[in-house]
Structure 1
Amino acid sequence: MTIAANTITKDEDRRTGSPLEVLLVFLRLGLTSFGGPIAHIGYFREEFVVRRRWLDEQAYADLVGLCQFLPGPASSQVGFSIGLMRAGYIGGLAAWIGFTLPSAIALVLFAYGAHALSGPTGIGLLHGLKLVAVAIVAQAVWGMARTLCPDRERASIALVAAMVILFSSSSTAQIAAIALGGIAGPWLCRGAPPPATGHISVPVSRTVSLLALSAFFLLLVGLPLMRGLGILQGITFFDAFYRSGALVFGGGHVVLPLLREAFVTPGWVSNDAFLTGYGAAQAVPGPLFTFAAYLGAIVQPSTYGIAGAALGLIGIFLPGMLILIGALPFWDTFRRRAGAQAVMRGVNAAVVGLLGAALYNPVWVSSVKTPGDFAIALIGFVLLTVWRAPPLLVVIVSAIGGIVLVQVVT
């Protein structure tokens, strides 16, 4: 397994490019990549392996494996890594900006315009977006459970994690559930496959790697301390985004319970506004993590607007990028350790339980109130899981269903 400069392509000219080139390619992907992180990885493969040949099939598979192993938004990490290998650190930044900006702008515009949706039609539309969240999260739980909890040991870890979340009101319950999964992994998930062989080499020095890891942990520990001192309200919000981004294992939808705990529980964002925005996030292309731009724009009591959206985006993406840069030079050694694989199996199983608990509360209890609500959510779930419909179609169907329900009731 190799990701190295001499395996990306055989042609020197193809191995290097400009940040502007990277920006334009990823901007187009950011405007057209619907369907969530798994679909994004498919779009990237078609664009960079098949069409442009910036890297080969094996190198791409290795890169995807690394990003799925780490916390953070896997598709955005893959995109950042491709930009990094193509045009250096500025290329990585260009890839992130191009892929992230379109959906972030769309969600900020929605944040500013959502309050204008009044009357039966507006109310029905917003309620339909909340029902989208039910279908999307249910699909995520179903798919992740089949992949990450295929045996009774990991299913049991998921169950215990869900119980911890459902029966605890503590703000540290989610962290505790993930930690318990990591502890149980070496005990219950020892049957990992043999570690992969090969070598991964990317343009990141060990010095830069250690600096990135140091920054990751320094912010993870230092931001709560600064938050406790009450220096700036913006630091409090940035810490909430950063902690959420640092703890996301297993896919973008896992950020839902983390952000909900960080922003709804303290009263910074209402539960209805949170779920409505989450539903709207399914209708835009690009990474689901741009939901943070919506939250940053509407957070209370101090409304930061555009600055808050930028704060949210940087805060939630930064930890995943730091730990990616930090892991790249050490990935070869780490991934060969069976113990590390077992820990991650336990963590991923706990993540399924975490998302399953979130499906019940707040998603289900806040959205499904009537048989009609359940019918719309069920239609969305079947469209996603059986018909393999794109999420945008499910958003449209649910929004129309929500409007129809309100018209019938009123």
Structure 2
Amino acid sequence: MFEGARDPSRVLETFAVFLRLGCTSFGGPVAHLGYFRDEFVVRRRWLTDAEYAQLVALCQFLPGPASSQVGFALGLRRAGLPGAIGAWFGFTIPSALLMLMLALGASTVSGPIADGVLLGVLAVAVAVVAQAVSGMARSLAPDVQRASIAIVAAIVALLIGGVWGQLAVLCGGAIAGVALLGRTAEPEAPAHEHDEELPIGRRGALAALSAAGALLALLPIIAASLQHSAFSVADAAYRAGATVFGGGHVVLATLEAEPAFAGPIGQDHLLFGYGAAQALPGPLFSFAAYAGALVDASGSIPARAGLAAVALVAIFLPGLLLLIGVLPFWGRLNRRPTIAAAMQGANAAVVGVLAAAFVDPVLVHGVTGPATLAVAILALVALMMRVPPWLVVVAGAACGAGLSVL
């Protein structure tokens, strides 16, 4: 079923390469895709530019973290399912461990300097989300029809709120996309003409799709029945991962809408973790480890680490299962204008969801006065000048600490 699945050397090679990338890939999802192309198309020649473009198009089509899904698919092609798991683990674990350590230390650090660092990072988060909304609007809502979908989506998301409001917005965006773009939508990339060359069979793909749907349906029932924090976290994180379109920047909005996270975690701490994640290499979805560890801030370190692991796996799992499930059928799907129109409408709605999150809670909590407004503006200017995000976060934290002393 999987090409190269029985070659341990390929699995170890894949893990080692992605572990290095997980430690050095700063800059967010778009930068990650550039690192991957340089490593696997140019240097190692694991696949051609056209094949890589098709993988990227597929992962942008699906909910979930696009860069991590591309890495998972590259590992799948190279060394089967063990290689795919090794690629995901290597790319994810460095940032996840750092986010876990940040969460474990968040409840023990206090005082005016710590409060200042928090304010500085929250102000930087304002700049990061503002830039993300602007960039996504240019690429995902470039015309009148999609811009209209994004504006309506933002209004509805602000009025309704919560995870169900976001789901309604995404579904409405998909329907509006079919209605407004159905005749003009075109696939993002050429279809794959040889499904039999893909590294997973259709039987395995259908099993993955069935598992993805079953978990989405059953986890809420299990969480409600057992009333255990681990199942509540798994349910919320899995649902968030299944509904995140548009990349890692939207993960803040989805987790902030889930009561399992928003209830026990203050919005300031959620925004702080999101801002800090910008300074780390690897996927932004590692933010889930931070959120999971804060769900039970008074628990033991092993218990909190366990919740972090549950949140981390659960938020990635739906996107990876959907990738496995859709991969063999992608050639046919991306030839259908209706599918392309629905996804373009949903992606435009994502811009609205992120814009709503920018207003509340990001702007509300990130700009509390003239000083934090100045930090946010300077951070936005620095990001527009292509200063590395990690450096902007560190500078913002330093500014916040300095302001707290003055």
TM-score, length-normalised on structure 1? 0.93
Give 1:202's match in structure 2, choosing from 181, 198, 221: 198
Query: 1:86-97, aligned counterparts within 5 Å?
Result: 86-97=78-89
Residues 244 and 170 (structure 1 numbering): CA distance in 2 closer, same or farther, change over 3 Å? closer
Aligned pairs, number:
396
Structure 2 residue aligned with 1:185: 177
**Deviation readout 1:362-402 (Å, 9 max, x if unpaired):** 001012011111111111111112x1111111102211221
Q: Which runs of 4+ in 1 moved over 6 A?
A: none
The 2-side partners of 1:122 and 1:208 are apart by: 50
1:302-381 to structure 2, matched below 5 A, reads 303=299, 304-381=303-380
Structure 2 counterpart of 1:8: none
Contact map agreement 1:264 1:274 (CA 8 A) in 2: no
Q: How does 1:37-116 map to 2 (within 5 A)?
A: 37-116=29-108
Q: Is the 8 A contact 1:148 1:352 kept in 2?
A: yes
| Maintained 8 Å contact 1:17/1:86 | no
**1:87, 1:332 → 2: CA distance?**
22
Indicate the larger mover: 197-206 or 305-314.
197-206
Q: How does 1:7-406 map to 2 (within 5 A)?
A: 18-169=10-161, 171-190=163-182, 191-193=184-186, 196-199=190-193, 201-263=197-259, 267-300=263-296, 303=299, 304-385=303-384, 387-406=385-404
Letter in 1 for 2:328: P
Letter in 2 for 1:252: G
Please tell me whether the aligned partners of residues 126 and 399 of structure 1 are also in contact (alpha carbons under 8 angstroms).
yes
With over 3 angstroms needed to count, the CA separation of the structure-2 counterparts of 1:170 and 1:122, relative to structure 1, is closer
- Is the 2:255–2:262 Cα contact (8 Å) retained in structure 1? no
Q: Deviations over 1:318-357 (max 9, x none)?
A: 0000000000011011110000000001000000000000
Name the % identity: 52
- Greater mean alpha carbon deviation, residues 63-72 or residues 256-265: 256-265
How far apart, CA to CA, are the structure 2 residues paired with 1:171 and 1:249?
A: 13
SS where residue 35 of structure 1 aligns? coil
Q: Whole-Å Cα distance in 2 between the matches of residues 83 and 170 of structure 1? A: 35
Question: How far is the alpha carbon of 1:288 from its aligned partner?
Answer: 0.3
Once the two structures are TM-superposed, the CA of residue 162 in structure 1 deviates from its matched residue by 0.7
Equivalent-residue separation in structure 1 for 2:109 and 2:231 (angstroms): 32
| TM-score, normalisation: structure 2 | 0.94
Give the counterpart letter for 1:371 in structure 2: P
Q: Distance in 2 between matches of 1:99 and 1:232?
A: 30
Give me the whole-angstrom Cα distance separating, in 2, the residues matched to 1:88 and 1:302.
41
Structure 1 letter corresponding to 2:186: P
Whole-angstrom distance in 2 between the partners of 1:264 and 1:241: 9
Sort the Cα spacing of 1:383 and 1:208 in 2 relative to 1 into closer, same or farther, 3 A.
Answer: same
**For residues 252-299 of structure 1, what are the alpha-carbon distances to aligned partners after superposition, in whole Å with 9 as ceiling and x for unaligned?**
111111100114775121111111111111111000000000111110
Q: Matches of 1:371 and 1:64 in 2, distance apart?
A: 41
How far 1:300 sits from its partner (Å)?
3.1
User: For the Cα contact (< 8 Å) 2:19–2:91, is it kept in 1?
Assistant: yes
What is the identity, as a one-letter code, of the residue corresponding to 1:305? R
In structure 2, relative to structure 1, the CA distance for the partners of 1:161 and 1:250 (3 Å cut) is: same
Q: 1:264–1:270: 8 Å Cα contact kept in structure 2?
A: no
**CA–CA distance in structure 2, aligned partners of residues 212 and 323 of structure 1:** 7
- Once residues 161 and 250 of structure 2 are traced to their aligned partners in structure 1, the CA distance between those partners, rounded to angstroms, is 18
What is the Cα deviation at residue 16 of structure 1?
A: 9.7
SS of the residue aligned with 1:305?
A: helix
- Corresponding residue SS for 2:107: helix
Q: Secondary structure at the match of 1:204?
A: coil
Indicate the RMSD between aligned Cα atoms, in angstroms: 1.9
Alpha-carbon spacing, 1:164–1:84, altered in 2? closer, same or farther (3 Å): same
